[in-house]
Amino acid sequence: MAPLLEVNDLRTQIKLREGVVHAVDGVSFQLEPGETLGIVGESGCGKTMTALSIMNLLPTGGHIAGGSIKLNGQELTTLSDEQMRNIRGNEIGMIFQDPLTSLNPTMTVGKQIAEAVALHREVSREQAMDRAAEVLDLVGIPRVRERIKEYPHQFSGGMRQRVMIAMALACEPKLLIADEPTTALDVTIQKQILELIDDLRIRLGMSVILVTHDLGVIAGRADRVAVMYAGRISETTDTDTLFNRPRHPYTEALFQALPDKAADAGERLYSIPGLPPDLVNPPAGCRFAARCRYAVDRCRAEEPQLVSEVAGHEFRCFYPVGPSERTDTGRLATYNAAPAEAALAGPGIGDVLLDVSHLVKDYAVTKGAVLQRRVGWLSAVADVNFTIRSGETFGLVGESGCGKSTIGKLVVGLEKPTSGSISFEGKDLAKSSAREYRRERRNIQLMFQDSYASLDPRMRAGTLLREPLVIQRLGSKQEQLKKVAEMLDKVGLPRTAADRYPHEFSGGQRQRLGFARALMLQPELIVADEPVSALDVSIQAQVLNMMKELQHDLGLTYLFISHDLGVVRYLSDKIGVMYLGKLVEVGPAEEVYLRPAHPYTKGLLDSAPVADPGAEKAKVSEGVTGELPSAIHPPSGCRFRTRCPFAQAICADVEPPVQRFAGEGHLAACHFPLQTALGDAVTASAALPE
Amino acid sequence: MTGYLIRRLLQTIVVTVIVTIITFLLLHLVPGGEVRAILGVRASPVEVRTYSKEWGFDQPLYVQYGKWLWQMLHGNFGFDLKQNAPVSTLIWAALPRTIVLAFIGTGVGLLIGIPLGILQAVRRHSVADNVLTGIAFVGYGSPTFLVGLLLVQWFAVNLHIFPPFAPQATSIGGILSDPVALILPVATYAFVAYALWSRYMRSSVMDNIVQDYVRTARSKGASERRVLWGHIFRNSLISIVTLLGLQLPVIIGGAIFIEVVFNYPGMGLLFYDAALNTDIQLMLAITVLTTLITILGNLLADIGYAMLDPRVRYA
């Protein structure tokens, strides 16, 4: 069969003031009809630029400098604008990362889809709208006739991405390019969307290029994978081979940086040192050489070509890793022994440091601009109980909108609880006076997700780090400056960094800076709200390792909030799973992961993609269906019942009691748990239905 | 929407009362008191006292304010002693003239400014963009009266193409029947308006042109023309309509120097004369009117915003 798409030696350049960025530098691949190709790599590696080159939708200053792109034998790079417009949306459809900003906010979804139809088919306005309704139905939008007249902001994130898919597929293209289609979505919705794309690919007989940074997403969905690094493909082969027998040191390093795999052994993550090279002046020799642990002089002088030992597996390396498919002698074995010594002994776990009891936070929902009438309550946190012992890491997971960040804010004191108590070292923070509170705050510090937005852009790093000391009037100026310097050492930043502004740091360095700021007052408890979500895998590993090391060295306690189950599992001793304001399950990390008692926990675990093609294919569960209900009128009884496969009449009537399960402190609130309960929880009051 | 409008109406009343109180107090601070402002510096103390008693200026301020408010609510804006006419008669004669000038001027300014702003945004940093930016900055930075005087110098005094003054007719029909005389004042107005709106439109389009939804539209195969008019245009207009509403008092008030330069008897000239003559009743009335126009402009901006942007709904 002739390939559907042939990309040959594609070179894409972007002219910037600083020079010409060689964003895509000699990329070649083929795509068969009906096939899914995964393009994976870290930010700035050229994967999105490759996708945009195929569509010829490059940003200002970007142009294809060389190479060829053939769709069904037709050369695309030489087409006129008008001819290319005929291809876009007709032969190739594309969906983007953020479905909210990618849709026109002032146009109904129906019109936006109908526009795509009208551009390529000789149809009347009514026919185009009919086709729009048809594809909206195809992508699983309920009540199409009503929703077709609605605007994008009236849809949820998952539904918006379905609208995007409908738009891309309205003209039944032969190729769908999905650029990070699920990065902005929750895992449960991510699974639904990926399944939809897969299903449509088969039904419509199209090919898919799936561009993502997430190895887990690739594992379950792609037939073949191309790993990109610094504008080039560093390795390409079928999915199984890539995940089981990677040959390029970069691919190997990416896998070792994943927290999912390291969690079992509790070992230190492998982190790729340094940053990807500058693509304005790409380095001579192998582009990965500077960050490669196996690099020798030849790698830095001479550029390796894509070679293959067996057909269909190409990599760009002189000294490939892993068992060679020919000789069966590789270096992975010798490497694996190395990190064992780096594994950290668990820090000593002490007494209860934080005791959250019957915590409730309701936000008033108001109406009217002048007289703010209260029309209801948004139940953000509803009767949550948990304890954290000193030296422990408590991971809080759940979908966005489940109330996990609100708990973080309540613990740090940025919000006041509606009722319930938060005891820190035996003192109830909610009842303490403002003055006591400020003093107590020293011991509880917050680490933010977006360190770029949370650091004052006009303050130098040194000033930022000193500020907490100045506010709390701790020490003389000299002492404060000395502490700043020591802290920079601790988080692995050079002392000269104190004179730099936040924008002069890379993402990973900025997150180190954010962490250093949180540590300045020598707190006992750090509330880390999605601290690594914005980072690439290799950088994420650096930050996680640092957090683990400093926990050990300084005896820190973490309340770690994240939507990423792999990261939470890697770092946490105990895990709490939240759903719509309720803590539905809590227990030791391994217990919760391996033997979840609550159907929601199980569904969440099944939804999360794992970087293992075998495990992904073996999955039969559909994860969690449907979408998160509104917290303004949460479902009666068990809040999860509307999405639960086991829900019965009792779930709607009676709020499930908290019960004990096998494993120390393993509690869950469910009428029909996935394992036999050992009896009601000790805190019997928590079980009483309201 | 109805509930929203009712609430806005209530807000309008409160704001207007507050503004009138402040204006009332400020205007009673004129040097020598308002009676002297009316009778002149040569009036004897006896005359001042008699006059004060006769017209109620000896009463406490809140009584005076209450009376004034009560009369105003009945449509009586007071009697202008300087021009010997009821204030309302003077205003109703002047207001339509200003509206004609301001709306034609703004309209022409928008008709030129919006397309040029779009053009500049689409071809940003081109020669055309840079030249137009230069012209717009000149218009933006020049005082209106200077522009007016220069136009009079060139086109009226030197070239004798247009008359140096605006139509002097009293009715709107009369003004419109003398379009040649209207050209210079309108051109002055339009030039300043063009400079403003072309800048706003340029930056609004530039904000939108980089949005993700524009890329989506292109990915559907839409032509650049379609992307611009079908997607970017409406989104860019959202901020323009908002600004237009907020500019309404400036649009009305902006005519003041043009009216003085071209001797055009509109609201601007009326206020200018009132200020020169310390004409308190007239100034009070104009202030109330400007307050109402400002609030109306805000309301129109909000309504226009809600009409263009489906994400905004007032309840």
Residue A452 Cα, gap to closest chain B Cα (Å): 21
| Token representation of residue A45 | 């590696």
Q: Do A98 and B212 touch (CB under 8 A)?
A: yes
Residue B4 with chain A: CB contacts under 8 Å? 369
Mean pLDDT along residues A426-452: 81
Which of A90, A106, A367 is closest, CB to CB, to B221?
A: A90
Mean pLDDT along residues A285-298: 91
Determine contact: B273 vs chain A, CB below 8 A: no
Q: What percent of chain A has pLDDT over 70?
A: 93
| Token representation of residue A659 | 């019960």
> How many angstroms separate the CA atoms of A497 and B100, rounded?
62
Which of A86, A88, A101 is closest, CB to CB, to B213?
A: A101
pLDDT tens for each residue of B116-132: 999 999 998 899 999 99
pLDDT tens for each residue of A477-514: 999 999 999 999 988 888 888 999 998 888 888 889 99
**Cα separations in angstroms, A308 against A10, A190, A305, A312, B169:** 20, 34, 10, 7, 91
Residue in the block written with tokens 């966005």:
A400
pLDDT at A265: 57
**CA A645 to mean position of chain CA atoms:** 26
> How many angstroms separate the CA atoms of A492 and A490, rounded?
5
Residue B211 with chain A: CB contacts under 8 Å? 101
Determine contact: A444 vs chain B, CB below 8 A: no
**Residue B7 lies inside a defined structural domain of this protein:** no
Residue B77 Cα, gap to closest chain A Cα (Å): 31
Report the range of poorest mean pLDDT among A115-129, A303-317, A379-393, B240-254. Answer: B240-254
**CA B64 to mean position of chain CA atoms:** 30
Residue B220 with chain A: CB contacts under 8 Å? 88-89, 115-116, 119, 167
Which chain B residue has the Cα nearest residue A172?
B220
| Token representation of residue A28 | 């070649």
Residue A399 Cα, gap to closest chain B Cα (Å): 25
Residue A48 with chain B: CB contacts under 8 Å? none
Determine contact: A167 vs chain B, CB below 8 A: yes
Q: Do B311 and A105 touch (CB under 8 A)?
A: yes
Q: Return the residue in B5, B219, B229, B305 with the most chain A beta carbons within 10 A, the one to mutate for interface testing.
A: B219
For residue A459, report the phi and psi dihedrals to the nearest 5 degrees: -115, 140
Domain enclosing residue B221, as ranges: 91-266
Nearest residue to B34 (alpha-carbon basis) of B65, B4, B3: B65
Q: In what order do the strands lie in the sheet with A5-16?
A: A19-31, A5-16, A62-71, A74-75
| Token representation of residue A548 | 């683990």
pLDDT tens for each residue of A196-213: 999 999 999 999 999 999
Residue A153 with chain B: CB contacts under 8 Å? 310-311
**Residue B148 lies inside a defined structural domain of this protein:** yes
Determine contact: A55 vs chain B, CB below 8 A: yes
* Count of domains observed in chain B: 1
Residue B223 with chain A: CB contacts under 8 Å? 81-82, 85
Q: For chain B, what is the total number of helices (H) and then of strands (E)?
A: 16, 2
User: For residue B233, what is the domain's CATH number?
Assistant: 1.10.3720.10
Enumerate residues 59 to 88 of chain A having a beta carbon within 8 A of any beta carbon in chain B: 81-82, 85-88
Residue B263 Cα, gap to closest chain A Cα (Å): 44
Residue A375 with chain B: CB contacts under 8 Å? none
> How many angstroms separate the CA atoms of B229 and B234, rounded?
7
Residue A76 Cα, gap to closest chain B Cα (Å): 14
Residue A85 with chain B: CB contacts under 8 Å? 221-223
> How many angstroms separate the CA atoms of B89 and B80, rounded?
10
Residues with Cβ within 8 Å of A457's Cβ and at least 6 positions away in sequence, in order, are A501, A502, A503
Mean pLDDT along residues A133-151: 93
Which of B221, B238, B311 is closest, CB to CB, to A89?
A: B221
Mean pLDDT along residues A597-601: 94
SS3 content of chain A, % helix, strand, coil (to 5): 35, 25, 40
Whether the predicted pLDDT of A266 surpasses 80: no
Between CA A245 and CA A252, with CA A250 as vertex, the angle to 5 degrees is 35
For residue A30, report the phi and psi dihedrals to the nearest 5 degrees: -125, 155
Torsion over CA: B146, B147, B148, B150 (sign): positive
Pairing between β-strand A224-229 and β-strand A419-424 as defined by DSSP bridges: unpaired
Q: Do B216 and A367 touch (CB under 8 A)?
A: no
Residue B213 with chain A: CB contacts under 8 Å? 101-105
Which of B10, B216, B311 is closest, CB to CB, to A102?
A: B216
Decide: residue B51, CB within 10 A, 0-12 exposed, 13-18 middle, 19+ buried: middle
| Average pLDDT across chain A, whole number | 88
**What CA dihedral angle connects A642, A646, A651 and A652, to 10 degrees?**
40
For residue A585, report the phi and psi dihedrals to the nearest 5 degrees: -155, 140
Between CA A570 and CA A574, with CA A571 as vertex, the angle to 5 degrees is 100
Q: Do A167 and B220 touch (CB under 8 A)?
A: yes
Q: What is the CA radius of gyration of chain A?
A: 26
Neighbouring C-beta atoms of residue A526, cutoff 10 Å:
24
The answer to whether residues B283 and B27 touch, using CB atoms and an 8 Å cutoff, is yes
Neighbouring C-beta atoms of residue B140, cutoff 10 Å:
14
Q: Do A96 and B212 touch (CB under 8 A)?
A: yes
Determine contact: A57 vs chain B, CB below 8 A: yes
Which of B4, B11, B213 is closest, CB to CB, to A104?
A: B213
Neighbouring C-beta atoms of residue A81, cutoff 10 Å:
10
Enumerate residues 351 to 390 of chain A having a beta carbon within 8 A of any beta carbon in chain B: 367-370
| Token representation of residue B73 | 């609510």
Residues with Cβ within 8 Å of B315's Cβ and at least 6 positions away in sequence, in order, are A367, A368, B1, B3, B4
The answer to whether residues A92 and A54 touch, using CB atoms and an 8 Å cutoff, is yes
pLDDT at B274: 86
Q: Do A102 and B315 touch (CB under 8 A)?
A: no
Residue A96 with chain B: CB contacts under 8 Å? 212, 215-216, 219
Whether the predicted pLDDT of A690 surpasses 50: no
Determine contact: B315 vs chain A, CB below 8 A: yes
The answer to whether residues A254 and A528 touch, using CB atoms and an 8 Å cutoff, is no
Mean pLDDT along residues A57-85: 93
Mean pLDDT along residues A348-377: 81
Report the range of poorest mean pLDDT among A340-354, A520-534, A607-621. Answer: A340-354
Determine contact: A103 vs chain B, CB below 8 A: yes
| Average pLDDT across chain B, whole number | 86
The answer to whether residues A175 and A93 touch, using CB atoms and an 8 Å cutoff, is yes
pLDDT at B254: 63
| Token representation of residue A566 | 């792999």
- B195 HSE (CA, 13 A, CB side): 17
| Token representation of residue A77 | 């790079």
| Token representation of residue B281 | 């009743």
Residue B5 with chain A: CB contacts under 8 Å? none
Q: Is A500 helix (H, G, I), strand (E, B) or coil?
A: coil
Q: Is A383 helix (H, G, I), strand (E, B) or coil?
A: strand
Whether the predicted pLDDT of A138 surpasses 70: yes
The answer to whether residues B270 and B287 touch, using CB atoms and an 8 Å cutoff, is no
Residue B308 with chain A: CB contacts under 8 Å? 106
pLDDT at B203: 95
Beta bridge partners of A233: A228
Which chain B residue has the Cα nearest residue A111?
B230
Which chain A residue has the Cα nearest residue B308?
A106
**What is the band of A376 on the pLDDT scale with cuts at 50, 70, 90?**
confident
**Residue B79 lies inside a defined structural domain of this protein:** no
Which of B11, B222, B315 is closest, CB to CB, to A370?
A: B11
Q: Do A167 and B216 touch (CB under 8 A)?
A: yes
Whether the predicted pLDDT of A136 surpasses 70: yes
Residues with Cβ within 8 Å of A499's Cβ and at least 6 positions away in sequence, in order, are A460, A461, A462
**Residue B179 lies inside a defined structural domain of this protein:** yes
pLDDT at A84: 95
pLDDT at A332: 41
Residue in the block written with tokens 């940025």:
A414
Determine contact: B125 vs chain A, CB below 8 A: no
pLDDT tens for each residue of B53-78: 887 778 888 888 888 888 888 888 88
pLDDT tens for each residue of A627-676: 888 888 899 999 999 999 999 999 999 999 999 998 888 999 999 999 88
- Dmax over Cα atoms in chain B, in whole Å? 86
pLDDT at A505: 87
pLDDT tens for each residue of B246-300: 888 877 776 788 888 888 888 888 888 888 887 888 888 888 888 888 888 888 8
Nearest residue to A623 (alpha-carbon basis) of A223, A97, A194: A194
Determine contact: B7 vs chain A, CB below 8 A: yes
The answer to whether residues A239 and A610 touch, using CB atoms and an 8 Å cutoff, is no
Residue A81 Cα, gap to closest chain B Cα (Å): 9
Which of A85, A102, A116 is closest, CB to CB, to B212?
A: A102
**Cα separations in angstroms, A107 against A99, B220, B231, B273:** 14, 15, 8, 50
**What is the band of A264 on the pLDDT scale with cuts at 50, 70, 90?**
low
Beta strands in A406-556 (DSSP E): 419-424, 427-428, 444-447, 525-529
Q: Do A153 and B310 touch (CB under 8 A)?
A: yes
Determine contact: B124 vs chain A, CB below 8 A: no
Residue A89 with chain B: CB contacts under 8 Å? 219-222
Tell me what ipTM this predicted complex has: 0.83
| Token representation of residue A445 | 């510090």
Residues with Cβ within 8 Å of A175's Cβ and at least 6 positions away in sequence, in order, are A4, A5, A31, A71, A91, A92, A93, A206, A207, A208, A209
Q: Is the model's pTM score more than 0.90? A: no
**Residue B230 lies inside a defined structural domain of this protein:** yes
pLDDT at B273: 87
Q: Do A167 and B212 touch (CB under 8 A)?
A: no
| Token representation of residue A441 | 């705050």
- B21 HSE (CA, 13 A, CB side): 9
The answer to whether residues A62 and B193 touch, using CB atoms and an 8 Å cutoff, is no
Nearest residue to A521 (alpha-carbon basis) of A453, A473, A559, A456: A473
Cα end-to-end distance, chain A, whole Å: 65
Whether the predicted pLDDT of A343 surpasses 50: no
**Residue B304 lies inside a defined structural domain of this protein:** no
Determine contact: B309 vs chain A, CB below 8 A: yes
Hey, what amino acid is at B204?
A: S
- Interchain CB contacts (distance < 8 Å): A and B: 83
Between CA A314 and CA A325, with CA A320 as vertex, the angle to 5 degrees is 65
**What CA dihedral angle connects A437, A442, A443 and A444, to 10 degrees?**
80
The answer to whether residues A579 and A600 touch, using CB atoms and an 8 Å cutoff, is yes
Hey, what amino acid is at A121?
A: R
**Residue B237 lies inside a defined structural domain of this protein:** yes
**Residue B22 lies inside a defined structural domain of this protein:** no
